[in-house]
Amino acid sequence: MRSRWPILALLCVLASLLVPGIASAHSAVGAENRVWAFDLQGQVHVAGQRALTLDLHEGCELAEYDSASGSLLAAKGGALVVRNPISRHAAERLAERGITRGMAEKAIEKGTQYYDRMHGTISHVLEGGMASGKTLQIATNPATGSVVTGVIRSRFNPSVLLPNGTPRFVPVGQ
């Protein structure tokens, strides 16, 4: 069977010329799904897998992402950043609360992690993460890593108890 990749790649290149910033193609190769992206910014759905937000910086011509293992296979000529996807609900809540994607990423990267027993999420808490000095709390889905919501608090109290008397927040990695 002949491969359709040369035709798909050509279509992607043409699409990137006509619609700058958006063009991609994917195919199952053996047990892995690969994404080839050309000057891509935005979300890519890989063979029914979750959406990945990709930023290909100037000069990056080719990127391959293995969705099965969640690892980057190659990025030639530039840098590729695979970010935590943000759910539609989270995007709305973050916008309402004045939380930018960069702030959410910083909380995920540098914040203290707690497992939230009430919601089944991982809360990334960055004390003083807001310009006002308030605490930024970003909740992510532990299975997918996607951002679920974001909250600004005057202070975070990890010793809150559930109605059954057990702690709501459990520190991760302690």
Contact yes or no for 104/150 (Cβ under 8 A)? yes
Q: Which residue bears the tokens 């100037």? A: 58
Span 136-144, mean pLDDT? 91
- 66: three-class secondary structure by DSSP: strand
Distance CA 34, CA 135 (A): 38
Ordered DSSP codes for 141-152: -TTT--EEEEEE
Taking alpha carbons only, the member of 129, 172, 167, 170 closest to residue 151 is: 129
- 115: three-class secondary structure by DSSP: strand
- pLDDT tens digits for range 144-158: 888 999 999 999 999
| Phi, psi for 159 (deg, rounded to 5) | -95, 15
pLDDT at 124 exceeding the cut of 90: yes
- pLDDT tens digits for range 17-72: 444 433 333 333 333 334 444 434 444 444 444 444 444 444 443 445 555 544 44
Long-range contacts of residues 30-35, Cβ cutoff 8 Å, at least 24 apart: 31/68, 32/66, 32/67, 32/68, 32/69, 33/66, 33/67, 33/68, 34/64, 34/65, 34/66, 34/73, 35/63, 35/64, 35/65, 35/67
Distance CA 98, CA 37 (A): 31
